[in-house]
Amino acid sequence: MKYILAVNPWIYDFAAYDFWMKPLGLLYLVGMLKESGLDVVLVDFLNRNHPCMPKKIKNSIYGKGHFLREAVETPAPLRQIPINRRFARYGVPPEELRRDLPQEPPTLILVTSTMTYWYVGVKESIEFLKDVYPEIPIVLGGIYPTLCFEHAKENIKADYILKGFAPESLEELIYRHTSIRPELKKYKRFNNWPAPTIEDLSSPTYGVITTSLGCPYRCPYCASYILHPNFETKSPEKIVKEIQKMSTIGAKDIAFYDDALLYNRTHTKDILKGIIEAKIDVRFHTPNAMHARFIDEETAALMKAAGFVSIYLGLETSDFSRQKSLGGKVFSGEFTRAVKYLKKTGLTEISAYILVGLPGQTPDEVKTTMEFCYENGVRPYLSEFSPIPKTPMWKLAVKTYNWHEPVDPLWHNNTLMPIFSPTFTPEIYYQLKRLQKKIVEKQSP
Ligand code: SF4
């Protein structure tokens, strides 16, 4: 049997939590390869439904929950950093995976990646796969090599490393190793992409989907436009069908991964109307932050009727001059109006992401933003700034943190922000976290 092995690697970090976290890009790619007639076996090293998961690991609501965790040695680039937390591997232990992996070697292995500072998980996973299948070529793709290509080339023992979505290169590679040409060029347009193959994950209780790629905004701390330079949508009919299919195979919850879910309001409204018409019974969540600016009264009502439950809005700050300097994706008045419309429908689980630790930001600004959320009846959700290479804010972060390039990607980790930031010391950061907790407790019914 000739098949391709697609792998979602381990995470190595101080903390990791399954906040509706699935390898969406890899699931789309598996769909494309299958549509092209290839056999693909997907192995999820993060699988939370693996039989080795102890019962005592508490699962949270809506499909979220903890990964299996095993403490590991702290990698060298982090050893001089004064942080009182253990580094760990998250996911299924190697000895379990060794039993699960097919005995017959694949013809090619594809490994995905996400956060730049999770490269240790990618490196370890690839070394493990090389040990199991020493003769089989491995291709690394995903966000990490797209943003840190040179680092990946120097540090990862993959046979091929791809930047961004590279259908031509991948098509050639697959042809070279399988003698089957998968016609990936036809997927250059997002509207032609198949559904993400969540059925290849073990007992998925939740699904993930995106209705669009990219974002027309250019917030200086965000890599969306580097990963997807153009904003593209998929037809509402296709999206509704994909959601319907996920619900049929057991997904009770679905998370939207869009960077700009409401940007094309007509498109989103058509999807919402389609879901309502098809009477699809799932709960929807928006962990990737929605654009408050585009929530009007009708959209809010449609969201509620379609089954939206947890709403995460991208606020970042309530400070007017910083809102402007960050590109003006939302102003406070627009945020307040959006929340009013959402609440009017009866939606209650509304949170707002607040950036903490941006170069030039003060703790008072973060505190005022949390109070602004409280006044609006919205849960503040602190999101620590993580510097991303190639973004406009990268150079400023390097200067503010007094770093000297090249910087190891492990230092991009948002957990380290209070250590590197000259303004948000660990003590100040924990004060802000305590305030956040107090506000959320006060807001709890
Ligand atoms: S609006 Fe969101 S996704 Fe778009 S550039 Fe800004 S942070 Fe990135």
Which atom of ligand 1 has the smallest separation from the CA of 218? Answer: 5
Q: Is residue 358 within 6 Å of ligand 1 at its C-beta?
A: no
Tell me if 196 is assigned to some domain.
Answer: no
Say yes or no: 169 and 228 in one domain.
no
Ligand 1 geometric centre to CA of 419 (Å): 25
Residue 362 and residue 427 in one domain: yes
Would you say residue 193 lies in a domain? no
Is there a single domain that holds both residue 240 and residue 363? Answer: yes
> Are 314 and 221 in the same domain?
yes
Same domain membership, residue 260 and residue 163: no
- What per-residue confidence (pLDDT) applies to 438? 97
Same domain? 107 vs 53: yes
Q: Are 187 and 31 in contact (CB under 8 A)?
A: no
How far, in Å, is the centroid of ligand 1 from the Cα of 304? Answer: 24
Model pLDDT, residue 57:
82
Give me the pLDDT at residue 58, please.
75
| C-beta 215 within 6 A of ligand 1 | yes
Closest residue by Cα to residue 339 from 310, 303, 377: 377
pLDDT tens per residue across all 445 residues of the chain? 689 999 999 999 999 999 999 999 999 999 999 999 999 999 999 999 999 999 888 788 999 999 999 999 999 999 999 998 999 999 999 999 999 999 999 999 999 999 999 999 999 999 999 999 999 999 999 999 999 999 999 999 999 999 999 999 999 999 999 999 999 999 999 999 999 999 999 878 899 999 999 999 999 999 999 999 999 999 999 999 999 999 999 999 999 999 999 999 999 999 999 999 999 999 999 999 999 999 999 999 999 999 999 999 999 999 999 999 999 999 999 999 999 999 999 999 999 999 999 999 999 999 999 999 999 999 999 999 999 999 999 999 999 999 999 999 999 999 999 999 999 999 999 999 999 999 999 998 7
224 CB near ligand 1 (under 6 Å) = yes
**Measuring CA to CA, which residue among 348, 370, 414 is closest to residue 115?**
414
Kindly state whether residue 88 falls inside one of the protein's structural domains: yes
Residues 173 and 261 in one domain: no
The last residue of one of the domains, among 122, 156, 188, is 188
- CATH (domain of 422): 3.20.20.70
Classified as helix, coil or strand, 380 is strand
Query: How many structural domains is the chain composed of?
Result: 2
Give all strands (DSSP E) within 94-173, no chain letters. Answer: 108-111, 138-140, 160-161
Query: At 153, which CATH number?
Result: 3.40.50.280
Residues 139 and 165 in one domain: yes
d(CA 30, CA 110): 10
Query: Is 412 inside any structural domain?
Result: yes
Positive or negative: CA dihedral 292, 293, 294, 297: positive
Residues 255, 337 within the same domain: yes
441: part of which helix (H) or strand (E)? helix 426-443
The whole-number pLDDT of residue 172 equals 95
Ligand 1 site, residue 412, Cβ cutoff 6 A: no
Ligand 1 and 122: CB distance under 6 A: no
Mutate to test the pocket of ligand 1, among 329, 331, 388 (most ligand atoms within 8 A of CB): 329
Å from CA of 414 to ligand 1 middle = 17
123 lines ligand 1 (CB under 6 A): no
The DSSP letter of residue 59 is: B
Q: Is 149 a member of any domain?
A: yes
Establish whether residue 258 lines the binding site of ligand 1, counting it when its CB lies within 6 angstroms of any ligand atom. no
Beta carbon of 214 within 6 Å of any ligand 1 atom: no
- Tell me if 198 is assigned to some domain: no
The range of the structural domain enclosing residue 104 comes to 4-188
Considering just the CA atoms, what is the radius of gyration of the chain in Å? 22
154 part of a folded domain: yes
Q: Which atom of ligand 1 is nearest to the CA of 225?
A: 5
Closest CA relative to residue 378, chosen from 366, 367, 370? 370
Are 253 and 283 in contact, with CB atoms under 8 Å apart?
yes
Domain boundary pick from 161, 188, 215: 188
Are residues 239 and 184 both part of a single domain? Answer: no
Cα 288 to averaged position of ligand 1 atoms, centre (Å)? 10
Closest CA to 4 of 101, 106, 128: 106
pLDDT of 59: 82
Q: Does residue 404 lie in a domain region?
A: yes
Give me the pLDDT at residue 385, please: 98
Instruction: Identify the domain boundary among 153, 188, 223.
Output: 188
Residue with token string 């590679």: 173
Is the domain of 387 the same as that of 343?
A: yes
Residues 183 and 250 in one domain: no
